[in-house]
Amino acid sequence: MSDLEPKIKAEILAEALPYIQKFHGKTIVIKYGGNAMTEEKLKHGFARDVVLLKLVGMNPVVVHGGGPQIDNALRKVGKSGTFIQGMRITDEETMEVVEWVLGGEVQQDIVMLINQYGGQAVGLTGKDGGLIHARKLQMPDREKPGEFIDLGFVGEITSINPAVVKALQDDAFIPVISPIGFSDDGQAFNINADVVAGEIAKILKAEKLIMMTNIPGVMDKQDNLLTDLTAVEIDHLFADGTISGGMLPKIGSALEAAKSGVNSVHIIDGRIEHSLLLEILTEQPFGTLIRSH
């Protein structure tokens, strides 16, 4: 923005006002992942953006992934990541790595950066305040109807207790949530971060759910960006294989959140600097908007 003429800068700032007013006091859940989490410039830009949203009166809640960081840590212990239908197979050793990478290294990195820019971030896992209760995921096998795939310690959410998140928001803190859930007997489960973000957005009755990814949004088979999708259109994209792999849990969670009362769900390109602010504070359509109908 430093290269822009003062007049253009002023117009951009003025354009933000109605959006600041519209979303003041509203909860915005951000699924933070992809390049935005690994490139230094983008990491710093994201932290500043989140602090700005909080300072102008919005309530950002960050749910982060960490796939590349987990893969790096697994390589160091001589393991490689295996995925089925976009979900990581998680044995006992992998689960230990997931816990210390997501709940430790990655989360603390995000918290420190937000705090460095003047925010007050607090890291949470599913264990904190009984936030995310989970059980072992039974994933249907798409190739063999009626059968299930054993993914190991991969969990599905049974319930979310939003009290700890709400208490932090009320005290001007920014919650940063790792997607690790716990069963009643204390077993940790690796949960897809897109799924956690979607469920958190639903239970907090968020105004927006924003999913940051490494693509411009949802693409058709000719690689054209689909800027606006309804539930029916998404069902067609699932059926014809346009949406596959790692996009399956992402789009599924986005759609579920839209159907459950989250006013708008956006999938945006986290490789673009300040994409979060562009989506929330400007008029231009950015990425893919998902609507329930």
Nearest-angstrom CA–CA distance, 90 and 98? 9
The response to whether 88 counts as a known ligand-binding position is yes
The response to whether 142 counts as a known ligand-binding position is no
Of 206, 154, 136, the residue nearest 175 (C-alpha): 206
Bridge partners of residue 251, in order along the sequence: none
Structure-token match 């960050």, residue found: 62
Dihedral of alpha carbons 141, 70, 279, 5, sign? negative
Q: Under 8 Å CB-to-CB from 204, ≥6 apart: which residues?
A: 27, 29, 61, 162, 165, 166
The response to whether 246 counts as a known ligand-binding position is no
Structure-token match 């950066």, residue found: 113
Neighbouring C-beta atoms of residue 274, cutoff 10 Å: 16
Neighbouring C-beta atoms of residue 124, cutoff 10 Å: 23
The response to whether 81 counts as a known ligand-binding position is no
Nearest-angstrom CA–CA distance, 178 and 101? 10
Bridge partners of residue 121, in order along the sequence: 174
Q: Which residue ranges are tagged as binding site?
A: 66-67, 88, 190
Q: Which residue ranges are tagged as binding site for substrate?
A: 66-67, 88, 190
